[in-house]
Structure 1
Amino acid sequence: MSNSVLHRSSLPTAPANAKTWVTRLVFGLAIATLFLMALGSATRVMNAGLSCPDWPLCYGEFVPREQMNLQVFLEWFHRLVATTIGFAAIILTAIAGWFRRALPSWTPWAASFALSLIVFQGVLGGLTVTELLRFDIVTAHLGTGLLFFSTLLAIGTALVSYQGTGSVGKLKWIGASAVVLVYLQSIVGGLVSSRWALHQCFGVNQLCTVMNSHIVGVVPATITTLTLIILSWRTPALHPALRRLANLAGFFLLLQITLGVATFRLHLQVEPLTIAHQAIGASLLGTLVAFTVLAFRDAQVFLIGIKAEG
């Protein structure tokens, strides 16, 4: 018997529902990450980013009882949720490796990539404190969080049961373009927030270029997303799941623009609006990621059909 056969026979027996377990864990992690990003936004707009002056503990304790107030709680709870997600990512990677026979071959690698992102995110989280909220680190912290969130959704969407219709056409590439543009727009938005560019521009006429870059960036991201939505409506044979995701993207896009205008006009004075603006932006990005992954899976049906006919 060859070594490869012996290796396969020594792998743990995977239960039939291992794929379901992994899929649920991935989507659960994605929801928790969305909540964590909203919590991080709340920590920033409430000026609580340095409420715990040390890291990884807070005032030298796991639970700072004497110093606890709203700002300290926000920063402490943000760290607690982030740590929980980190351990959950380790569990995901372990399960994906342990039950790899019952999963697509790429799953352990994707889970490991997600784990590396959350580890890097943790490092950036520590640096935001030790470097006193340096704007480039804070922006990178947000960007890595969005990438981790998108990776989780891509993994989960690739694992769900789906039988495409092969009618997606160019929508997969439009979806991918929308993902990139919305992600970049979110990064610029994070830069605006981390540098307080809106306040600086209106107050002392500084950093207006940063603020205007975010405003101008709305245009290509919006046009690409609208193109995706309209072409989805004009594709009669499109799978219902893709149609629902396109409609959801339209809802998030409208809500995001409305929140952005309100936030701009109110000069970031209403904290819940600012928090919602980031959360809806992440939700829009996640919806586009899910659409794009399903669209590429749908395109495989078309390619398989061509090969079968050939």
Structure 2
Amino acid sequence: MAHSISSPNSFSPASDQVKTWVRRLVWKMAIATLLLMAIGSATRVMNAGLACPDWPLCYGQLVPTQQMNLQVFLEWFHRLDAMLIGLSAIALVGLTLWFRTALPRWLPWAASFALFLIVFQGILGGLTVTELLRFDIVTAHLGTALFFFVTLLTIGSCLSDYRGNGTAGKLPWFGLTAAIFIYLQSLSGGLVASQWALHQCFFQGDMCVVMDSHIVGVVPATLATLVTVIMAWRTPALHPALRSLANVAMLLVCLQILIGVATFKLHLQVEPLTVTHQAVGASLLGTLAMFSVFAFRDRQPHTS
């Protein structure tokens, strides 16, 4: 009797179980990426960007035990976290391709795009070392990391068990606009940081235009976020998830302004405050991205 050969997908678990696996992996990758950006910020403020003079190894070793100090550890751990995220992105692509019949058709493409971003990010990471922290490469490095972070959150939000009630109205567009402004403001902050514009402006009178542009950029980014939050508060019968995300966005934008003012007043002399400033900004961007995705899904109440 002839036996038919089954494809790998014929042994796939139930669709919901596979989606849960993928969703959990994506959320863990997103948390690791937020940590990666925070460590990257700490590496910069501690002047550790070139603590490992070579790439991808550090002093020609996987673990530079003899040269290890705080600066070397920050740069080495930053690379280690990036490598783990890269391996996770490869695993994500493999998982979505293997179980593609049990998953949404767009998911393997989205996972592949995330992998492309992390590979590109790795290339930029290498260039930051070989090009001696050139400011445009450092800024592009941050911008790609933020885009990768948002991509992961978008995938995770699309896979979440969310049932909209059709009350979001135009909130998706408000949230998306606010997220774009926050992203641009984050890039502006990256330019300020990569060129040490605040230090140069205060102590040498140079690069003040770059710093002032970042300060001015606070206004549209903050207003766009506040409009989104107020519109969410004024929307009757809004889904609790959207209302919670709006509240988180409000909390984060207020916290970000306070930290930004403190950072400015203290002339970047308190390193943990500077790192927190970037981490809160990334968290705000992620919150608005998730808000936008859920709000778009809210317009299709029966989408799982």
TM-score interval (norm. to shorter): over 0.9
Residue 232 (1) aligns with residue 270 (2): no
1:21-47 Cα deviation digits (max 9, x unpaired): 000000000000000000000000000
The aligned residue for residue 66 of structure 2 is: 66
Provide closer, same or farther for how the CA distance between residues 118 and 236 of structure 1 changes in structure 2, counting only shifts above 3 A: same
1:187-211 Cα deviation digits (max 9, x unpaired): 0001100000000111111111100
The aligned residue for residue 163 of structure 1 is: 163
1:117-132 to 2 correspondences below 5 Å: 117-132=117-132
How much has 1:11 moved relative to structure 2? 3.3
SS of equivalent residue, structure 1 residue 300: coil
Q: Give 2:192's aligned amino acid.
A: V
Greater shift, 92-101 or 118-127, is seen at 92-101
CA RMSD between the two structures: 1.5
Instruction: Find the aligned partners of 1:66 and 1:40 in 2 and give their Cα distance.
Output: 22
In 2, are the aligned partners of 1:188 and 1:213 still within 8 Å (CA)? yes
In 2, are the aligned partners of 1:40 and 1:78 still within 8 Å (CA)? yes
Instruction: Find the aligned partners of 2:31 and 2:177 in 1 and give their Cα distance.
Output: 24
The aligned residue for residue 301 of structure 1 is: 301
How much has 1:8 moved relative to structure 2? 9.8
TM-score (norm 2): 0.96
How much has 1:10 moved relative to structure 2? 6.3
How much has 1:13 moved relative to structure 2? 2.7
TM-score (norm 1): 0.94
Instruction: Find the aligned partners of 1:174 and 1:7 in 2 and give their Cα distance.
Output: 51
In 2, are the aligned partners of 1:13 and 1:99 still within 8 Å (CA)? no
The aligned residue for residue 24 of structure 1 is: 24
Residue 14 (1) aligns with residue 9 (2): no
The aligned residue for residue 154 of structure 1 is: 154
In 1, are the aligned partners of 2:8 and 2:98 still within 8 Å (CA)? no
Q: How many residues align?
A: 298
In 2, are the aligned partners of 1:12 and 1:98 still within 8 Å (CA)? no
How much has 1:12 moved relative to structure 2? 4.2
How much has 1:165 moved relative to structure 2? 0.9
The aligned residue for residue 55 of structure 1 is: 55
How much has 1:299 moved relative to structure 2? 1.2
Q: Which runs of 5+ in 2 are unaligned?
A: none
The aligned residue for residue 206 of structure 2 is: 206
Q: Give 1:102's aligned amino acid.
A: A
The aligned residue for residue 35 of structure 1 is: 35
Q: Give 2:152's aligned amino acid.
A: L
